[in-house]
Amino acid sequence: MAAKLGKAGAGRRERKRGDKAANDSGEAAAAATSKRTAKRPAKLQINPHARKLLEESLRTPIVEATISMQDTEMYRAIEPKLVSGGLLTNDPIVFSGDSKLFYLSKDNAVAVYNAENGEMVQNFSSQQQQQQQLAVPRLHPSAIKAMVADPDAAEGHRVYTFSADHKARLWDADSGELVHSWDLGSIPAFAVADPTRPGQFFCALWHEVARSASGDKNRYSVCRVVLDRAADLAGKEELFRVTNPIGLVARQDGRWVAAYSKFRIQLGHVRANGSVVQHRWRVSDRVSVVAFHPTEPVLAVGDWRGRIMFWYCVDDELDQGTEDRSVIRRPHHWHAHRVNAVAFAEGGTTMLSGGEEGVLVLWNLATESRDYLPRLGSDIIGIAISPDQMYYAVTLRDNTIRVFSAMNKALVSSLQGLKFAQRGAALGRGARRTGIEHARLARALDDDPFTTGLVVHPATHALVLNGDPGFIQVFNHLADRHLASVEVAPFNRTGGSSSEAVSRPHVDLVQYSSDGTWMATVDSRRADAARGLMAVTESYLKFWQLDPSDQTYKLASRIDSPHAGGVHAIAFQPVVRKGAPQPGPAGLLC
């Protein structure tokens, strides 16, 4: 019996020792796992869509950053923020009701400017937008899709914004405070005010994706939206539906609204009893812009052939909808390329148009004569006329806004952002483009890549980088202000019937001497841009000297084809040789 008890006690002691060993081994394994986890590097994930856009624009692959766990806390405090730059030309500018201010949707925020001098007076966005703002334009889910100014200035300057987070917001532009917000229930693509009903708008709201053999198509509902400050939910009444719209406009009397896509125009006649009569047309020439004449029963349709066709199709007497109804059409043709913008002055006797030629055309419809504002520097993509008819605001593709006096056509103010911002934004909108259009944009980036990098000017500490084709831009990133553009390689912007036939130069490199008195540039023309610098057909090394009288660089000398395979890098010798004339470069390595 004692032997049995001894064996049982020994068994219990063995089990205890086994359990203790197991516990010790488990703790050791956990400690080892924790130690391995502490040493394991953590990857900073990059948004795949953002990575693709950056790689396409910079032509350089972006890799994920790997850091050790002990450095995680330090890197966690580093967050990308948009401190300057951005796209000013998402949409045409919007004037306030009294024409004293104008508003720009700058990425995810609203910027307010003085119309007389172009100075920014306010910049605001919602708290959610500020917290989630990204450095890559147009990727934020709450990007502003449309803006409409409140025409009643009795309560101060106010502006409505419609965002991709399904929200409509009313802002006090004087203080930057949010007055009210409404839930739209869907993503808005376009919004225009109903001129006869305050607080009511015509909006194109996303409805569904229609899948077909030819590809997916986004269908939108054109609705009358009522924004009542006593409610948080917007009132909606569907008028008609459209597929893949590229624009929405309304007539001044609020009885007609038009939505258009590339080869289709749809008109809705809103009758007094609230019913809607629809009229649809299919067109053979690709549509680029549509505008209502303010007094005549005319719809102006701009196309890719450079024509502005007056359609006499606004008929209040028609009680039934029509399909491809025959209408009288009258052409107005001056533009050699696509018409991007059309606007009418209040009385309807003056029409403004612009396109790829960079010329603002002023049509006197009463006398059938034309006047011009030429050489604006880039393609015109938007035109806005102030409510008091005193200002013409022109939006340019190179991220520039110019405001002209309607009286004497003199330049009143000018805003210029980063020239390269519009290229990244164009690719950012690629999700809503066809594969052919996206390929065309990618080829445009290949044609004009970001090769200079960010060069710091030694005297002003401003950033110098690629601008328009053939130009470099000097930009103050601290004040968010354009300083200058230097035309390194002049060229003719338009030629023939296709702008793609124009051979555009590209500034490959730029560098400065240590005191900033000399600048060296390399520009080239390439037979095949996708093959990079190895495919150059012409290459020029140029030296520029600073003129102290006007602080501009003047061309001093040029070297043709300095290297057979193109120039890949240049650098000034950092010190000046003894006995060299002052100022002067010590030498350049390339």
pLDDT digits (tens, 9 = 90+) for 81-126: 666 777 787 777 899 988 999 998 876 788 899 988 888 888 776 5
Fill in the DSSP letter of residue 22.
Answer: H
**Residue 260: HSE in the Cβ half-sphere, 13 Å Cα cutoff:** 24
Encoding tokens for residue 339?
């018409």
| Angle of the 421-428 helix axis to the 48-58 helix axis, nearest 10 | 140
Q: Which of 73-77, 191-195, 237-241, 328-332 comes out lowest in average pLDDT?
A: 73-77
Cα(451)–Cα(55) distance, integer angstroms: 13
Supply the pLDDT for residue 60: 43
Average pLDDT, integer, range 564-581: 72
Mean pLDDT of the chain: 78
Model confidence at 8: pLDDT above 60: no
Supply the pLDDT for residue 239: 93
> What percent of the chain is predicted at pLDDT more than 90?
42
Average pLDDT, integer, range 511-519: 92
Encoding tokens for residue 564?
């057979």
Please give, one letter per residue, the 3-state secondary structure of 85-125: CCCCCCCCCEECCCCCEEEEEECCEEEEEECCCCCEEEEEC
Cα(266)–Cα(282) distance, integer angstroms: 9
What's the pLDDT band for 213 if we cut at 50, 70, 90? low
Counting every residue written for the chain, the total comes to 590
Supply the pLDDT for residue 2: 44
Cα(336)–Cα(72) distance, integer angstroms: 57
Supply the pLDDT for residue 207: 84
Q: Which of 39-43, 330-334, 543-547 comes out lowest in average pLDDT?
A: 39-43
Bridge partners for 249 per DSSP: 258
Fill in the DSSP letter of residue 251.
Answer: -
Average pLDDT, integer, range 268-282: 91
Edge-to-edge strands of the sheet including 217-226?
Answer: 188-193, 200-210, 217-226, 235-243
Q: Which of 245-254, 289-298, 419-428 comes out lowest in average pLDDT?
A: 419-428
Supply the pLDDT for residue 118: 85
Q: Which of 7-11, 183-187, 519-523 comes out lowest in average pLDDT?
A: 7-11
Q: What is the pTM of this model?
A: 0.74
Supply the pLDDT for residue 138: 33
Cα(584)–Cα(587) distance, integer angstroms: 9
Dmax (CA) of the chain: 129
Of 151 and 171, which is predicted with more confidence? Answer: 171
Average pLDDT, integer, range 58-81: 47
Model confidence at 432: pLDDT above 70: no
pLDDT in tens, 326-337: 999 999 999 999
Average pLDDT, integer, range 418-440: 53
Supply the pLDDT for residue 234: 92
Supply the pLDDT for residue 43: 42
Supply the pLDDT for residue 105: 83
